[in-house]
Amino acid sequence: MKVENPLFLLDYDGTLAPIAPRPEEAFPHPEALEVLGALMARYPLYVVTGRRVADLAGLLPLPGLRVVGGHGLEEGEVGGESHPLFPVDLSPLRRALPSCPGVWLEDKGFALAFHYRGAEDEERARACLEGWLGAHEELLQALGLEALAGKKVLEIKPKGASKGQAVLSLLPRHPGHTPIYIGDDITDEDAFQALKGRGLTFKVGPGPTRAEGRFGDVGAVLAYLKSYL
């Protein structure tokens, strides 16, 4: 499936880069930089990710690459400035962090991500996080926060932000273009749903999804993107 005037909306981890044990080890597919650079010269393109814009800059060093980070919590450009879309004070939560074996914290500034990929007992780590979450439900509500589950990660973020909300806000900027959203994670399902009937959506990898199409892996994603060049 292809469209004539695409607006590319691409997840990063699991879509442009294979999943890695830690975020800083998730390097892009060998062809990703060249392909993205060529697409940017022809079409509007955004990377829509759970990462911070600043962190993604080290992995995709493409000046001018537009990024929506934090699942819709910030927006910016590689090599340029970024700004938060949902300012929040996480300091009260930072004083009540969980102590769960095998869990490590990624503090994004606007959100806290608790990773348990690679824990000796991942199910125990997940159960520990869920217990901590239940015990601090009132605090999260008071701070205007919510939990977002992903692939072996639990993220605490401001309410109201999602990849679905983010991509809908981008559409009016590019009239006449058809959105193409590609992602692999639970967090991408909001975008798939938001774009239903508006464009093309693809899930990467196995599992149930709201997306209309599917790619087997990152290599298949890059092959599809190259078909527009």
Strand runs labelled E in 120-187: 145-150, 153-158, 178-183
Q: In what order do the strands lie in the sheet with 145-150?
A: 104-107, 112-115, 153-158, 145-150
Helix (H, G, I), strand (E, B) or coil at 173: helix
CA pair distance 54, 131, nearest whole angstrom = 32
Residue of 11, 13, 184, 185 marked catalytic: 11
Amino acid letter at 84?
P
Length of the chain: 229
DSSP state of 186: G
Please choose, from the candidates 191, 116, 112, the residue with its C-alpha nearest in 3D space to the C-alpha of residue 145.
112
**What angle in degrees, to the nearest 10, is found between the helix axes of 32-40 and 218-226?**
30
DSSP 77-103: ETTS-EEESS----HHHHTT----TT-
Residues 6+ apart with CB under 8 A from 73: 84, 85, 86, 110, 111, 157, 158, 161
CA terminus-to-terminus distance, the chain? 15
11 is catalytic: yes
Active-site residue numbers? Answer: 11
